[in-house]
Amino acid sequence: MALDQRLAQLIDAEASALGFELVRVQMFGQGEERTLQIMAEDPATGQMVVEQCAQLSRAVSAAIDAVEEAEGELIEGAYMLEVSSPGIDRPLTRAKDYANWAGHEAKLALVEPVDGAKHMTGELGGIDGDTVTIEDRKLGARQVHLNNIHRAQLILTEKLIAATQPLDTSGVDEIVETTEEEKADD
């Protein structure tokens, strides 16, 4: 389902005003089960904590309500609003994502096949202009034009986990480890 351009601009403006960058905005589902999903990140961390998600959710809700009160329904029918961080195994939606995550494993779904393949999985080599390089596990190094990528996502690996630092480690020093013997006594 295509997202209305005006709605996308409204969401982008609210995210930018709060200092966030949009990663993806999409509407999915049908009827009363539709969800407007917003993935954003704090450019300083590449992630968002719960408080930031709530802040963006409130701002987007208020902006949509204001437009609908003044001009009529912007989003037809009922929907749920979901605001989140893109997560570790994030979607790759912007050119800079391919540069930022070069060296990590990803899977690509293509619009048109490249060398007979509509799906590629392997290590990202980065991006040069509008051309993404991937070291596909089966085909070897391949170049794919950005416009030919329908969907792309990082693959959760030990290397990716190691490269992604947690935002908030408060409380970590409060973790109490117990021995197997102590567990058995409980």
Q: Look at residue 168 and tell me whether its pLDDT is greater than 70.
A: no
pLDDT category of residue 163 using cuts at 50, 70 and 90: confident
Residue 40: other Cβ atoms inside 10 A = 27
Instruction: Pick the more confident residue, 100 or 77.
Output: 100
C-alpha to C-alpha distance for 113 and 111, rounded to whole angstroms:
7
Question: CB of 154 within 8 A of CB of 102?
Answer: no
Helix pair angle (50-71, 5-17), 10° resolution: 130
5-84: which CATH number, 3.10.20.30, 3.30.1300.10, 3.30.300.70, 1.10.3720.10? 3.30.300.70
Give one DSSP letter per residue of 44-105, joined into a string: TTTB--HHHHHHHHHHHHHHHHHHHHHHS-SS-S--EEEEE---TT-B--SHHHHHHTTTSE
Which residues, 6 or more positions from 84, have their beta carbon under 8 angstroms from its beta carbon?
Answer: 37, 38, 39, 48, 53
Q: Look at residue 114 and tell me whether its pLDDT is greater than 80.
A: yes
C-alpha to C-alpha distance for 148 and 1, rounded to whole angstroms:
19
What is the 3-state composition of the chain as percent helix, strand, coil, each rounded to the nearest 5?
Answer: 35, 35, 35
Q: What percent of the chain has pLDDT over 90?
A: 69
C-alpha to C-alpha distance for 80 and 33, rounded to whole angstroms:
8
pLDDT in tens, 47-91: 899 999 999 999 999 999 999 999 888 888 889 999 999 988 999
Looking at residue 172, its pLDDT comes to: 46
Question: CB of 144 within 8 A of CB of 137?
Answer: no
Whole-structure pTM value: 0.79
**Distances 42 to 22, 52, 108 between C-alpha atoms, Å:** 9, 8, 25
Question: CB of 13 within 8 A of CB of 22?
Answer: no
CATH homologous superfamily of 95-163 = Ribosome maturation factor RimP, C-terminal domain (2.30.30.180)
Looking at residue 183, its pLDDT comes to: 57
Residue ranges per domain, the chain? 5-84, 95-163
